[in-house]
Amino acid sequence: MTILLFFIVLAVLILSHEFGHFITAKKAGIRVDEFGFGFPPRIAKFKKGETTYSLNLIPFGGFVKIHGEEGQEAADPRSFASKSIGVRSLIISAGVIFNVLLAWILIIGGFSFGMPTSVSSAPEGVEVRDKKVVILQIGKDSPAEKAGLLPGDRILGYENVDAVKEAIESRLGQAMTLNYQRGEENLTAELVPRENPPPGEGAIGIAMDEVGTVRLPVHRAIWEGSIMTYHVVVGTAVGIYNFIAGAIAGEVGLSAITGPVGIAGIVGSAADFGFVYFLSFMAFLSINLAIINIVPFPALDGGRLLFLLIEKIKGTPVSARISSIVHGAGMALLLLLMLLVTYKDIVKLIS
């Protein structure tokens, strides 16, 4: 079931992104030769009108083959190369825009069905229902980790976070029992709160918050969904920038990246917590896909926008040969990185 859900999420995110490129190019009067899910070799195809729709073997991506996208046939009015830099920039950016729009729609849906929300950050004047104390983070090698607790577990028997803290502090250095809920299952953890924990971790090594469900009418869901989407986009952009800066400085390695296998596991966990959690996680992934794609790296949308900026500055397009080589090399590096991260995820899963 987890694998099926993962491929459903992957299909929705990729098709949304590529449909953005596809429909914008079509509206601009450009010929679209192929709309592909996954990367070649091709498994199946059918043709409708002038466009071939294909299913390809490597499922971690997709593409839209636009006539003249590498700068050729600029004299053809139905070629990508014949259009202004503004139109071409919009077509390249459309995939990112559609991923953000998808996330916005999913978040609106989440608020309409009942969005899990921190009580402290709930919209003003809105009732928060079914409040629970939820574990957000687990410290490495902490009593909580050794007891088997996981982020997302709901602590039972306490009204709020302060009550949990008081109970833990009253048992420093002594064994205590913590009842919690994971999915639909009620479980028990036996642990000993530390008297002298590492700085910032707390006695059992958890970060927690009081979380409830907020359900909004559609008009309010649209407004609050817009605010949340904005904050997630900004937060994701900052996070990815910090990751890239850390990688360049040698402070971050491949262990900080979760690949397709790892994401598949998280998709399954999100679905176990409920439909709205699943929608929220899909929205988060969609925004991540959008921000990553706008990074100015060859083969990504951001890399192609960078080439248009170079064209704008120098007054002439980058040669089709150079563009093809650079973006081809970028794609090869991305696929290699994907293989390395996938291998890492599989090794972690086995161990």
- Digits of tens for pLDDT over the chain (351 positions)? 677 788 888 889 989 999 999 999 999 999 999 999 888 889 999 999 999 999 998 877 788 999 988 777 778 899 998 999 999 999 999 999 999 999 999 999 999 998 888 888 788 778 888 888 999 888 888 999 999 998 888 999 998 899 999 999 999 999 999 999 987 889 999 999 998 888 888 899 999 999 888 899 999 999 999 999 999 999 999 988 888 888 777 776 666 666 666 666 666 666 666 788 888 889 999 999 999 999 998 889 999 999 999 999 998 888 878 888 888 898 888 878 877 777 776 776 666
Contacts with 48 (C-beta within 8 Å, 6 or more apart), sequence order: none
Number of helices followed by number of strands (H, E) in the chain: 9, 8
Distances in whole angstroms, Cα of residue 265 to Cα of each of 3, 52, 55, 123, 325: 8, 33, 24, 31, 36
Residue written as token pair 């397709």 = 260
Query: Which among 18, 201, 210, 224 is annotated as catalytic?
Result: 18
Cα–Cα distance for residue pair 182/280, rounded to 1 Å: 18
Strands (E), 245-324: none
Of 117, 105, 121, 116, give the one whose Cα is nearest residue 287.
Answer: 105
User: What does the pLDDT read at residue 304?
Assistant: 92
Cα–Cα distance for residue pair 317/323, rounded to 1 Å: 10
| DSSP bridge partners of 53 | 35, 46
Q: What is the pTM of this model?
A: 0.82
User: What does the pLDDT read at residue 105?
Assistant: 96
Residue written as token pair 């899909």 = 282
Q: Active-site residue 311, yes or no?
A: no
| Residue 148: half-sphere exposure toward Cβ, Cα within 13 Å | 10
Q: At what angle do helices 2-27 and 275-293 cross, to 10 degrees?
A: 50
**Domains of the chain, earliest start first:** 2-110+284-350 (no CATH), 129-214 (2.30.42.10)
